[in-house]
Chains A and B, each alone.
Chain A
Amino acid sequence: MLYALSPVQIIEVKNLFKKFGSFTANDDLTFDVKQGEIFGFLGANGAGKTTAIKILCGLSKPTSGEVKVAGFDVYTQTENIKKNIGYMSQKFSLYEDLTVTENIRFYAGIYGISRKEIKERTNILVEKLHLESVKDTLIKSLPLGWKQKLAFSVAIFHEPKIVFLDEPTSGVDPITRRQFWEMIYEAANNDMTVFVTTHYLDEAEYCNRVSIMVDGRIDALDSPKNLKEKYNAENMNEVFLKLARK
């Protein structure tokens, strides 16, 4: 997997601490993410991934440290951050009792895209996803894989600089997962930065770089290839186990 590191740092985190009382959820995180990169954010449950993502999305303030997302400061410029990011969680977050086009229209609408543009681009999107026959069908009657693709397309409909994917492939079959990663690559090729958390360690191999969190700290951060070499492992699963057992 070849890619040239872009010089532009789209996410910059320096000495980020987040404490809840005496519990430290994020313990001195320092990392950066480059524009157009697929950045894997790995860690066991409770390692502090969700807390970090919330801070990066402007939903939560750090206890201390410097955090810049898309060039904006998370302490003071969350409004600007929100305009420049997309977000998709494992729940897919589509409204079950709304149709495909209504969901697109709603989410595009809250990002302030004009009605005319929404209409044009909805048609293109529906065609691209092969959803023409179900565009006026309620989401609840669609298969999981379709929902997932639609949810991703909706999350990047407003063309954000960064898209955060929080375990986007949970509970989806391997073929659909594969197709989903093709969509992620396409977005990254269009210079969108993809920040993804996952449970599936084979998916970590698809990322340009991977960080592994253990107990609130980042224990490793490199390309999958370098990590495997460094930890003398066959695959990312072994790397992960070696780190977790340390």
Chain B
Amino acid sequence: MKRFVGFIKKEFYHILRDYRSLLILIGMPVVQILIFGFAISNDIKDAKIAILDNSKDEITQKLTQKILSSGYFILEKNISGTGDIENSFKQGKVKQVIIFENDFGKKLKKEGRASVQIISDASDPNTANILVNYTNAIISSFQMEMMKSQVIPFQIIPEVKLFYNPEMKSVFMFIPGTITLLLMLVSAMMTSISIAREKELGTMEVLLVSPLKPIQIIAGKVVPYILLSFINAVTILLLGYFVFNMPFNGSLTLLLSECLLFLIVALSLGIFISTFANNQLTAMIASMLGLMLPTILLSGFIFPIENMPGWLQVICNITPAKWFLIIIKSIMLKGIGLKYIIKENLVLIGMIMFFIAMSVKKFKVRLE
């Protein structure tokens, strides 16, 4: 035990003396959460639009008013001919053009139908999609208002309620996502790098020749990073709670235990990487490509898994981050208890056992 304590002490010397890495380790979560929280947002406000009103009657005026007063749009300019549409887009300011057809009001009253064309700049498909949806919603609500004055035989009024994130804030997505990403990166990347460093410097040989058992060496390398990653997780949770008002509906103990479980998954992955990476660079690249990209792209953090093709969904299933993201969102937003996330927990535990078994196997092969 005394040997082990000495080992951990040495490990902390490494971490504390490499103050640049330490700064990144501690600073990265703070910077990342602030960037994700404030800068990256799917909620669009004040999108610039242009309007081509060929009718210029009372109804088009009212509808234009309604669109502009929604808060989502700002009128950049009124244009007078179809030739201006492309120019407006090309200048890059205008995101959407709304075109009312000739005699819009008259047709609406006489024939009961009139058309409005929405042209969106889809060079940024997400924004285009969102703006079109906003416009559609405003137009249908305008329609409803107009119908109030008439007697209609029946009416279906959908009442929409958004559970767990009523304002649909994207920051509620990013905080769980960022915790996942950081726990993965710090734990897996840093452990794999620090084990690879011992190999590169030749100190690993000396440790293996010493009476320390391999399990003690690995545990000694891992324990300091468990501590650091845990501090990171708590920092992000605090930031989420105090800066972004992220709700904590579930049990804090459960949440922290799940963080610890995911940490161990990440660490076992880091150990696995270090069994084949013989230098720090390989370890870093393997962790970056092998862990960071799947964690961002395939975990449901940014892109919804349901929309992916079937074969990709299978790959998502072997991404540990996917399961942890489900767990952490369920606990924080839905406030549910352990019994609803048993499957996800079992998957993570299975992954730990798999990576440890693989590492031990590789380790033995190397020795023989």
Q: Which residues of A contact B (CB under 8 A)?
A: 57-61, 79, 82-83, 85, 87-98, 102, 105-107, 109-112, 138, 155, 164
A58 CA / B212 CA spacing, docked (Å): 13
**A-B pairs with beta carbons under 8 Å apart, 20 shown:** A57-B209, A61-B367, A61-B368, A87-B206, A89-B202, A91-B203, A94-B203, A95-B10, A95-B201, A96-B201, A98-B13, A106-B6, A106-B7, A106-B9, A109-B2, A110-B211, A111-B210, A111-B211, A112-B3, A138-B17
A112 touching B14 in the complex, CB below 8 Å, given contacts A61-B368, A89-B206, A93-B205 = no
Q: How far is the CA of A112 from the CA of B212 in the complex (A)?
A: 10
Contact B367 A60 (CB under 8 A): yes
Let me know if B205 and A87 touch, CB within 8 A. Answer: yes
Closest A residue by C-beta to B15: A97
Give the size of the chain B interface in residues (CB under 8 angstroms): 23
**B 1-45 contacts with A by CB, 8 A:** 2-3, 6-7, 9-10, 13-14, 17-18
Residues of chain B lying within 8 A (CB to CB) of residue A138: 17
A112 to B368, CA, bound (A): 28
Residues from chain A with a CB closer than 8 A to the CB of B9 are 106
Contacts of B367 in A (CB 8 A): 59-61
Residues of A within 8 A of B3 (CB): 109-110, 112
18 extra A-B contacts, CB within 8 A, seeds A59-B209, A60-B368: A57-B209, A59-B208, A61-B367, A85-B209, A88-B206, A89-B205, A93-B202, A93-B203, A95-B201, A98-B10, A102-B10, A105-B6, A110-B6, A110-B211, A110-B212, A112-B2, A112-B211, A155-B206
Question: Is the beta-carbon distance between A91 and B209 smaller than 8 angstroms?
Answer: no
Q: Which of chain A's residues have a CB closer than 8 A to the CB of B312?
A: none
Chain A residues contacting B206 (CB-CB under 8 Å) are 87-89, 93, 107, 155
Q: Within 8 Å of chain A (Cβ to Cβ): is B219? A: no
| B202 contacts A91, C-beta separation under 8 Å | yes
Interface contact A106-B10, CB-CB below 8 Å: yes
Q: In the assembled complex, how far is the CB of residue B197 from the closest CB belonging to chain A, in whole angstroms? A: 10
User: Do B13 and A97 have beta carbons less than 8 Å apart?
Assistant: yes
Instruction: Report the bound CA distance from A138 to B6 in whole Å.
Output: 18
The chain A residue with its CB closest to the CB of B210 is A110
* Interchain CA distance A111-B206 in the complex, whole Å: 11
Interface: B238 (CB within 8 A):
no
**A93 to B207, alpha carbons, bound, how many Å?**
9
Given contact pairs A97-B17, A106-B10, A112-B2, A79 touches B202 in the complex (Cβ within 8 A)? no
- Is the Cβ of A92 less than 8 Å from the Cβ of B209? no
Interchain CA distance A106-B10 in the complex, whole Å: 7
Determine how close the nearest CB of chain B comes to the CB of A234; give it in whole angstroms.
35
Q: Smallest CB-CB separation from A108: which chain B residue?
A: B6
Q: With CB as the reference atom, state the residue of chain A lying closest to B213.
A: A79
Q: Which residues of A contact B202 (CB under 8 A)?
A: 89-93
- In the assembled complex, which residues on chain B have CB atoms less than 8 Å from the CB atom of A82? 209-211
User: Nearest Cβ distance between residue B199 and chain A, in whole angstroms?
Assistant: 10
CA distance A102 to B206 in the complex (A): 16
Complex Cα distance, B17 from A57, in Å, reads 32
Report chain B residues within 8 Å CB of A94.
203
